[in-house]
Amino acid sequence: MMALDNARRVYMTHSVTVQISHDANKFNNLPLEVYYLICSYLGYFDLCSLRVTCRTFYQVCADPLNKINLHTICTDLSRRHVRQLMRLTEKQASAIRELSICSSSGGPLGLGHLVLPSCPLESQASKDLRKVVKKLTQCRILRISAVEIKHIYHRLAWMGAIDMAFSVLYAFCETENSLTSLTLDFRTDNLPSLLHGGLESLLAVSDSFYGSLRVTDISLKINASIATSRGLYQRFLLPLYIPYPYGVNEVSLDLGKACAEDVVYDVLEGKYFRIGPLAVIKLHNVTDIPVGGNSCAT
């Protein structure tokens, strides 16, 4: 047993797959090498019994899996999650009303997806996402958050939160489905977790959109400490640059207590995004904006 424990530690330490999953303490997320290691200690009759047990588990799980409430789906849109979502039946997909994209393990979004800077919206990741979103005909709420991202994988492909936002919004744009609420929470001090690549040219990306994206309310939150220049703020505002020809009822911006006079004025003038009729715009945590020669904070 001691030998098995030691061997298990070695496998998990040097495993490639364990680097992908930082919540490897769960049985379904154990590195593949661990399963092979366990099986190597089992005989013929043990393996036969295990196969029967696994088949029983599958049969038991199949029925409740079909009955589970799919009103809200929380996912990091890793390759594994996307493949599972692609297997949703039409009935299951039509029950989804809210898609929440966030990190559940502290890792980055879209783990396993490679986005090329030259053609981000033509990557396999974007194509797979479009297949998933096409099924979500009744999804009306979209949330994308980078707050939970704590660590970044440098050796594996993944997507930044803003890269992910563009890919998903592009997919919704293709389907012409309406969204009542779009929430983008980019409050993090980890810049690579937001912009990992693929969005070097604002015009090149935004001009790739076609069709019409219908959104009622948009909420965007960012950290002032990470946006050290006006150019970075413009990058964070990229999702607002998508054409919204039908207008937006309300846009809420939380700039993280930023001294962002130029950015605020550009937002008010609609300089960096193409929104049609706009009923309400709310600005939060914006400091030192001169009004009539004086500074104000809102």
Q: Is the pLDDT of residue 144 over 90?
A: yes
Q: What's the chain's Rg over C-alpha atoms? A: 23
Selection from 214, 141, 223 nearest residue 183 by Cα: 141
Cβ-proximal residues to 156 (8 Å cutoff; 6+ apart), any chain = 19, 20, 111, 112
The answer to whether the CB of 102 falls within 8 A of the CB of 145 is yes
Q: Greater confidence, 159 or 2? A: 159
The mean pLDDT of the chain is: 75
**Angle 32-40/2-14 helices, nearest 10 degrees?**
150
- CB burial class (10 A; 0-12, 13-18, 19+) of residue 164? buried
pLDDT score, position 110: 87
Question: How many residues are there in the chain?
Answer: 298
pLDDT tens, position by position, 63-106 = 777 777 778 999 999 888 999 899 888 888 999 999 999 998 88
Q: Is the pLDDT of residue 177 over 60?
A: yes
Backbone phi, psi, residue 278, to 5° = -125, 120
Give the pLDDT band (50/70/90) at residue 210. Answer: low
CA atoms of 192 and 190, how far apart (whole Å):
6
Calculate mean pLDDT across residues 241-264.
Answer: 71
CA atoms of 95 and 66, how far apart (whole Å):
12
Q: Percentages helix, strand, coil for the chain, rounded to the nearest 5?
A: 45, 20, 35
Residue 115 vs residues 37, 120, 156, 224, 243: alpha-carbon distances, Å: 34, 5, 12, 27, 22
Give the pLDDT band (50/70/90) at residue 201. Answer: low
Measure the CA dihedral 43/47/48/50, to 10°.
140
Q: What is the largest CA-CA distance in the chain?
A: 85
Question: 160 — alpha (psi -120 to 50), left (phi > 0) or beta?
Answer: beta
**pTM for this predicted structure:** 0.73
Give the pLDDT band (50/70/90) at residue 293. Answer: very low
Q: Is the pLDDT of residue 202 over 60?
A: no
- CB burial class (10 A; 0-12, 13-18, 19+) of residue 37? middle
267's tokens: 């937002």
